[in-house]
């Protein structure tokens, strides 16, 4: 697991009580990343990413490969497949080229999405299930 923090980021996470991982601009990771918490990508990742929390791709961030996560916010570029169990937000500066599987998809104007999307049906609450 990568836990890369600047002192400022570490101080902010201690004050807020949350921790997240970050790949900063100018950094390039080749391989598999496994993160127990949220992760922000402002650099380049080539490979597979498995995240138990939220994946944020900053405006200059790039992921080439497959991503599995709970939620995601894409302001940069994703070239590959993403399996997102809850909500994927593709912001106006974001670009996706590949496959998307998510429960909820939010696409802002000017975002670029070239690929396919599957949105499996949400599980019905117990009160709605017919017996």
90-99 residue pLDDT tens: 999 999 999 9
Residue 6 pLDDT more than 80? no
Q: Which of 70, 111, 61 is nearest to 90 (CA)?
A: 111
3-state secondary structure 99-125: EEEEEEEEECCCCEEEEEEECCCCCCC
Q: What is the pLDDT of residue 120?
A: 87
pLDDT per position as a tens digit, 19-50: 678 899 999 999 999 999 999 999 999 999 99
Beta-carbon-side half-sphere exposure of residue 63 (alpha carbons within 13 Å): 32
Please give the pLDDT value at position 18. 62
- The percent of residues in the chain predicted with pLDDT above 70, rounded, is 78
- Looking at the whole model, is its pTM more than 0.75? yes
Measured distance CA(31)–CA(72) in Å, rounded:
20
Residue 79: pLDDT above 70?
yes
């Amino acid at each position: 697991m990568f836990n890369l923090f600047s002192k400022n980021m570490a101080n902010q996470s201690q004050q807020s009580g949350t921790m997240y991982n970050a790949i900063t601009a100018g950094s390039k990771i080749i391989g598999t990343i496994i993160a127990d918490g949220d992760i922000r990508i402002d650099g380049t990742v080539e490979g597979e990413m498995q995240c138990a929390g939220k994946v944020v791709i900053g405006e200059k961030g790039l992921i080439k490969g497959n991503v599995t996560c709970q939620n995601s916010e894409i302001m940069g570029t994703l070239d590959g497949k993403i399996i997102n169990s809850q909500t994927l937000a593709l912001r106006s500066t974001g670009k996706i080229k590949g496959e998307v599987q998510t429960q909820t998809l939010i696409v802002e104007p000017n975002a670029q999405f070239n690929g396919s999307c599957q949105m499996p049906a949400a599980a019905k609450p117990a009160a709605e299930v017919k017996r």
